[in-house]
Structures are given as C-alpha cells and as structure tokens.
A and B are shown apart, each in its own frame.
Chain A
Amino acid sequence: MIGLWSVPLLFALPLSLGILSLLVVPKWRPRLIFLGLPLLAAASLDVLAGLATVGPTVYRLGDWAAPLGINLVVDGLAVGMILMTTLVTSLCALYAWVYLRDHPSSTTFFWPLLWFLWAGMNGIWLAEDIFNLYVGLEVMGLAAVGMVALRATPQALAAAMRYLLAALLGSLAYLLGVALLYGAYGTLSMAGLQEAATNNATTQVALALIILGLLLKTALFPLHAWLPPAHGGALTPVSALLSALVIKASFYILMRLWLVLGPEVTPEFTAQFLGVLGAGAVFYGGWMAWRQHHLKQLVAYSTVAQIGYLFLFFPLVTNTGPEAARLAWDGTLMMLIAHALAKAALFLSAGNLILAVGSPQISHLVGISRFRPMSLFSFGLAGVSLMGLPPSGGFTGKWLLLHSAILSGQWWWLIVLFLGGLLSAAYIFKVFRMSFREGPQIDRSVTPPLTLDVTALILASVAILIGLTAHLPLHWLRMGSVFGVG
C-alpha cells in the first residue's frame, strides 16, 4: 500500500512531537524541530512520490472501509496542501526558533501548539469523513487560539477570545450540518454522500449551515472581524502560520464539500452570492489595509482581501462548463498556494522590519530601504505575488481566474480582479513609499538575525517561482479530482 507509513506519520508524528515537547525541559522544546522537520518533509515527499507513481489512493484507517471506518483521501489536492503546509510550517518553525529566543519562557509553549496545529492541518487535508473533519477543525482551531493567546497581553487575550468565539460558533454550525447530513443519508463519508445526496430541504439547510460555519472560520467578509486583531496582534511566526495556512483549511473543506454536494443541491444564486461576498472582501479588505498605520495590521487586512479571490471559485465552477470550471479550479488553487507562501513571507518580513526599526508603525519605516534592503526585498517579492503581478504564483492564479471568468461570460468578476489588484498595489506600495523616503542618514536600525531574513526570502522566492513552473503542481493537484484528465 502506498504511503502505508508516511500517511499516518503526517499526523501521528506531529502529535507525538507535540507531546514530547511537553515532556522535555523548555530549553529543549525548540530543538525538536530538527528531528521533526526532516521526518515530516520525508513523509510528505514520500506521499507525493506515491501519488506520482500510483495515482490517488484511499487510506483505510484500522483497515475498515468507509462508511464504517474512517478513510483518508490521498489525492492530488490533499498532497498539494500537505506539501504546502510542510514547506510553510517548516520555514515558520525555523523562523520561530530564532525569533522566540528573546521572548519570555512561556512562549516555549509555542512548540507543542505548533505540532498540534500541524497535526490538525494534515488531518484536515487528508480527511474524507465529515465528522472527522469536525474533530480535525477543533484540533487546529484550538491550537491556533492558543497561539494567539500566547503573548498574554490584554490585546492578545481579547483577540484570542474573539477568535475562539468565532471558531466555536463556526464549528457548531458545521457540526449541526453534519448531524443533518448523517440523519438524512446515514453516512459520513464524502464519497458516500456524493452518491446518496439528493436535493431536498435537509441537504440545503445542512449545506447552508456548513457554509456559514466555514465562512466564519475562513473570515470571509463580512464575517472577518475576528481576523485582523488575531493575525495582526500575534507573535510574528504565529501570524504567518495563521494567515498562510489555518484559514485555508476551512476554505479547503468548503471547496471539497461544494464539489460533493454543491452541483446537486445549490442554486446558482448561492454560488454567485459567495462570489459577491468574495468581491466585498477584496474591496473592503484592500481599502482597510490601505488605511492601516500598523504594519502587521495592514498585512492582516490584506489577508481579509485575498480570501475574497478564493471565493470566486464558486461562481466560476458552478454550471460553467468543464473548461471554465477546470480553469477556476486551477486558478483558485494557484491563488491559494501563492497566497500561503506570499503571506507567510510578508508577515515574516514585516516582522523583520518591525524588529529592525523597533516599532510596528509604518511611518517609522522611513528610509529603511537603505539599511535593511534584504528584509524589504522579501517584502517586495511577496508583495508582487499578492498584487498579482508577473512573474509570480499570484499572477498565474489571476490569469487562470480571468481566463475562466471570460470563458464563462461572467465579465463582472474581471472588475473585481482589476480593482483588487490596484488596491493591493496601493497598500503594498504604501509601505515602499515610506521605506524609500529619505530619512536619517545614520543607521539606527537593528539587524535581524540572518535566519529570519533567509526564511522570509525563501518563502517569497518560492511564491515567485511557483508561478513560473505552475503546470507541474497544477497537474498533480488535479489528480483524483473531477478535473483530473487521464
């Protein structure tokens, strides 16, 4: 069986390391990454190799077939997300290893939380069972809340509390949807649901609850209020992880369930409505980002905006013909991955800039381009991808979405992509303008440790490079999906 060991290791290993990091002395907690990162990277690559040689498979935990047991789905989409997670989390972990040295010892609890978060995310990417997804969401969500609270300042606690309330409400809505689906179809397996689901009030209400719950967790406008304080106020590596990966998990579930249930039961209106909300997010988030004075808040609002692009998936994939739908799938995933990489890079380099000038205020970045070019360079590369300018993953994603929108005759989404790009340019260049302004002639800024700059730079470079080699990841991502050909 392909991935016999590597698939369970993807969640069992981080769980074990999470426990282990509780057992060792605080000084040793960070060092476990040198054990965990190579092993997880190896497991991820082994799963990819399995996918490339054998194709998509189903992993039957406990050797019980669904719906009795819980199955894991090892298809292109899941593997793509796993690889993305491994890359981003590894680099954020290396960043945190250096970054947290100067923080109080209570922040060493970052490490167990990180491992649990990782396990939760990998669990979600692999899940095929909708109740299992609920538990996975909770593992990830509570770990994320804990990470936000880690600073233990009043602001951090309030942000964590708000985040927790949103996450709990979202989970319950999701769970209730699962309860209805199980009541109606007697199965929790996505494959089973796809076969059995019919169009009736139960399915519709269940899907509505699931969508609402997941929208809240993904922080789609106008349900985004919890995100900026949580992502903008957390420790830098935490911000990066949350913005890059955690919100993607709930979107991922939404995407999967939409393809399972959506075409059967949803009117096109719902799809368009989700698209409109996405457009609202792009405009509102971009506008708010531009108005921020605090660097990390700007980046956090940028996440609110970028989430909006992902939701163009729904109108572009629903009843639009196979070619447009495939392009929408490709484009959304490209956007998702590019955003994960670029946003992590943006947060990390923003953290470096803040370290350098000792202040989170954008206005204090005056003249920093002269003294900290490397931190700024990563910020710029990541910004290129977020603005959707070539050559970058963000551009390739935008290209595919544009293509899909034109092909399906939904020209109104072009306006969203057009204005969204300009808005993101406005807020990214707001930072640049400040950094290019001539300020003090003497370098008073602190030099961040090299590791911090290098991790941000690697993430930003990958966000650029993935746009140039997009056909390979996109080819893998299609494997095992309805869009996979051959």
Chain B
Amino acid sequence: MDWNSLILLGVLATSLVASGVIFLLAESRLVLRTVVNLTAAVLKLVLVGWIVLGVYQAIEYEFRFTIIEGVDFILRADALGIMFVGLSSLLWLFTTIYAIGYLEKAPNRSRFFGFFSLCVASTVGIALAGNLFTFLLFYELLTLSTYPLVVHRGTRESLRAGQVYLYYTLGGGALLLFGVVALHVLIGDTEFVPGGSLAGLDPSLHPMLIIIFLMMVIGLGVKAALFPLHAWLPMAMVAPAPVSALLHAVAVVKAGAFGIARVVYDVFGIEFAQSLGLLMPLAVAASITIIYGSLRALAQTDLKKRLAFSTVSQVSYIVLGISLFGPIGAVGGLMHLLHQGLMKITLFFCAGNYAETLGVHKISELDGVGERMPATSVVFTLGAFGMIGIPPMAGFISKWYLGVGALEAQMNWVLGVLILSSLLNAAYFLPILYRIWFRKRDRLWCEGKVLGRFETQASLLFPTLLTAAFALAAGILAGMPFSPLYWAELIVGREYLQ
C-alpha cells in the first residue's frame, strides 16, 4: 500500500469520515459541526489539488482490493476523473459555507450535513471509480444519500418528490446494474481503459453490446435527466437551495453525464461506439433534451423550477459533446461539465439568496430586486449571460467548441440545435434580468432576517460571489493552464483519439 493509493482513499475518507462524525454529533453542537465540515472540505481540496498536480505530471494513482473473485474495487485518478473530483470538492466547500448560513436555526441540521457529506463522498467515488463495478457502487450510494436531502423539509410535497426521485433513480440504477453484469459476463471485470475494451469482441456479440449500451445509457440518463427521464428533477426543487445547487450543479446530474462519458470513452471506446452506430441516437436524444428543457423552462413561473428545466437542457450539452465524434466536440462537452457546474451553482445560490432574504420564489416577484440586492443580482446576470452563451463567459466557450465539433463530425444540424437553444436560453433568462434591473419594485418583501452589514448574510453572499468569480474566470482565462478548457484538452489529448 503505497503513498499514492492512500491519498486516493484520503480524498474519499475526508467526506466519509466527516459524514460519520456529523451523524454522531448532537443537533446542538453547532460550532463543532461547522469546524468538522469546513476542515474536511478544506482538507479534501488540498488533497485534490495535490493529485491534480500529480495527474498533470502523469503520475499514476491507484487503489484496489478484491471484492469477489474477478471483481475489484478500484479507485484511480485519471485526468477525466480528477476533473470531476476537483469540481465537486471545490463546490462542496462553497456549498457547505452557504448551507451553514442558509440553514441557520433550521431543524435537523445534523442529519442534513451528514447526508450532505455522504453525498459528496459518493460523487468523489463516482469520479475516482476505476471500473464499472466501483462506479455502480457509488452511483447507487449517491441515490441513497441524496434522498434524505430531497425530502429534508418533510412536507407532503417534498416526500412526494422524494418518492418520484427514488422510483426514477432506483429503476435507472437497476438497468445500469443489468448492463454492467451483462458486460461482466462477456469480458470480465470492466476497467475503464482509454479507448475502451470492447472493440475486440466477436461481431456476433454486437447486437448484445448495443442492448447493453442502451441499458447503461438509459440507467445513467435518469440521473443526467435526459428526456424523457427528467421528470424527477424539477420536482426535486422542493429541497432547500443548497441541495438544489449541489444536486443540479454537481452531484446527481453530473454523475449521470460523467457516467455516459465513461461508458462511451472508456468502456466502449469512442471509435467502437461510432462503428456500432450508437453516437447518433445519443446526439439526437441530447438535442431533443436541450430543446425540450428550454421550452419547458420558458413556461415556468417559479424561479427555481425555471432553473431546473434549464439544467435539464444544459446538462445535455455535455452528452451532446460526448456524442460528437471528434476531439473538438469532446473538449466542448467535457469542459461544459465544469462550466455548467460553476454557472448553475451560482444561479441557484442567487435564487436561494432571493428566497432567503426577501422570501421571493416567483419570477414575477423579482421586480426591482436589483436595487435591493445589487451584488447578488449582478452575479445572477453574469450567470445568465453565461448560460445564454454570451462571450466572454464560460458558456460561450463551451458552445463554440461544441459547434466546431459538430461541423468536424459532419453533423451540421447540431449547429441549428445550438443556435435555437441559445435563443431559447435568452428568451427565458432575459425577461428575468429585465425584471431585476428595469422594473420598479411593486410589492413588499418579507425581510424578517437579521442580515448584518451586507445585502444578505455574509455566509450566503460570499460563496455566491466566489463561484461567480470562478465561472467568470473559467471564461476569461480559458487560455491559461489549469482552466477547464486546458484540462479538457489535456484529457482529450492524453487519453482519447491518440
């Protein structure tokens, strides 16, 4: 057991141990809980930073032990995985700070933060999983650890949402399980290898492989909220804002999209998937979801619901990028994994700030809010611009690469999808911005809270500003080392299409 494998366990353990400790803490131990939370989050970030540097220098990190004959538990840090780990550890820290402020004086915080940490541990596990079995293990753990967060408020509505969430994700998980086991029967332990490990199989097995691919992509598509498997996501909006932020920006939907990337790149191999004709249907499904999500977002009157449908749409950019056969499209998709995470979490934080500070939930209640909460509103505007894809925001770069990638893959129609979707994005974000900045306030907000020196609590405001800064930097500094673009190119250049 060498140092490099222990550090992987450390990354996992920081949040896992934190979760255990928090569960055991009494509800009233506020300070200790906060200390544990933040220490773990910072520690994890440091460890991840260390690994990022190592992976950059092509150091191998691997940890494995045997579960049953022929099935290993493998953690491995490769460029793709560590990208996702980096995103989740960074956002975990911000979301934790945000949640501490958001849930001040709310009940059941011990339970909340316990499951919150567990949820992060599962996400990290998903990112670091070195084979399908390990991936599946954490994928299901994620379902289990997010359920209590979705139903956290304990109202009839949230319990109902939790139930729908469970049916979707458990059903999807079971399909994924079947696919994984079936692959296991064919080729044994399915480790993630650049270029995939299935291309050499006998052609008579190809129909079987197509079925397996379908099962796995449907199973993963549930969490990635691919149309028509997305219905759980808007319902899950009843959860507290930090949960929405974490679920929608990082953990659950990204786990699905990330899984699809793993399956396409590291299990089937992009070229083999292309030769089986699997990429085109995936691209079509992603495109439909992009348009459908945007259309539904237009119709929403609730701010968080609109953001949720926007997520449905935006996550499919990642899937779209994966399904474009060619390096540029791949870069666009992978990069969007980070970009969308940063931008969407910012937007959800803003929505949370509005709700928590002013009690505003409906879009129609946002009139003139820019005056009352300028910082939050500026940040919201930046996020919205990013989503629409206005340069130089991060979203623009993703869309640019996706467009070029589509042309490269000779799928010109995708360009149409991107343009239409951007127009729709504009159509559902610009009216909000108009209300925020150009309409006069026409109602009383319920401002019950003691806010301190700023427009809202510091613990709510600063994480929002920070994530926004990161989102902005990702766009403006895209050419710098360790930017999302840089890293996505590293992944594609190092591992795919060699």
Contacts and interface: CB of A to CB of B under 8 A. Distances in A.
Nearest to B110: A373
Interface in B149-171: 151-156, 159, 162-163, 166-167, 170-171
Interface string B70-92: 01010000000000000000000
B178 A474 contact: no
Contact of A433 (B27, B141, B151): B151
B196 interface: no
Contacts of B163: 429, 433
A370 B107 contact: yes
A373 B174 contact: no
A438 B181 contact: no
B166 A425 contact: yes
Interface in A402-446: 402-403, 406-407, 414, 418, 421-422, 425, 429, 432-433, 436-439, 441
A403 B185 contact: yes
A400 interface: yes
Interface residues of A, number: 39
B141 A373 contact: no
Contact of B154 (A390, A396, A436, A468): A436
Interface in B1-46: 23, 27
B111 A370 contact: yes
A36 interface: no
Contacts, number: 93
Contacts of A469: 67
Contacts of B167: 422
Contacts of B182: 406
B69 A471 contact: yes
A436 B67 CA distance: 33
Contacts of B27: 370
A402 B171 contact: no
A402 B111 contact: no
Interface residues of B, number: 41
A418 B174 contact: yes
Contacts of A389: 140-141, 143-144, 170, 173
Interface in B117-176: 136-137, 140-141, 143-144, 147-148, 151-156, 159, 162-163, 166-167, 170-171, 173-174
A384 B144 contact: yes
Contacts of B147: 429, 432
Interface string A161-192: 00000000000000000000000000000000
A422 B171 contact: yes
B190 to A, nearest CB: 13
A403 B181 contact: yes
B153 A438 contact: yes
Nearest to B114: A373
A218 interface: no
A377 interface: yes
Contacts of A407: 185
Contact of A373 (B107, B111, B170, B184): B111
A400 B69 CA distance: 10
B223 to A, nearest CB: 15
Q: Which of B69, B73, B110 has the most CB of A within 10 A?
A: B69
Interface string B88-118: 0000000000000000000110110000000
Interface string A459-486: 0000000011111001000000000000
A284 interface: no
B450 interface: no
Nearest to B108: A370
B57 interface: no
Contacts of A470: 67-68
Contacts of B154: 367, 436-439
B177 interface: yes
A421 B176 CA distance: 13
A377 B144 CA distance: 12
A330 B137 CA distance: 19
A471 B67 contact: yes
The 7 residue pairs across chains A and B that have the minimum distance between CB atoms? A438-B154, A390-B137, A402-B181, A436-B151, A406-B185, A389-B140, A470-B68
17 contacts: A370-B107, A370-B111, A389-B141, A389-B173, A390-B141, A403-B181, A422-B167, A425-B166, A425-B170, A429-B147, A432-B147, A436-B154, A437-B159, A438-B153, A471-B67, A471-B69, A474-B68
Given A387-B170, A421-B174, A437-B159, 19 more contacts: A373-B23, A390-B137, A390-B140, A396-B67, A398-B177, A399-B71, A399-B181, A402-B178, A414-B178, A418-B174, A418-B178, A421-B170, A422-B174, A436-B151, A436-B152, A436-B159, A467-B67, A468-B73, A471-B69
Interface of A: 330, 367, 369-370, 373, 377, 384, 387, 389-391, 395-396, 398-400, 402-403, 406-407, 414, 418, 421-422, 425, 429, 432-433, 436-439, 441, 467-471, 474
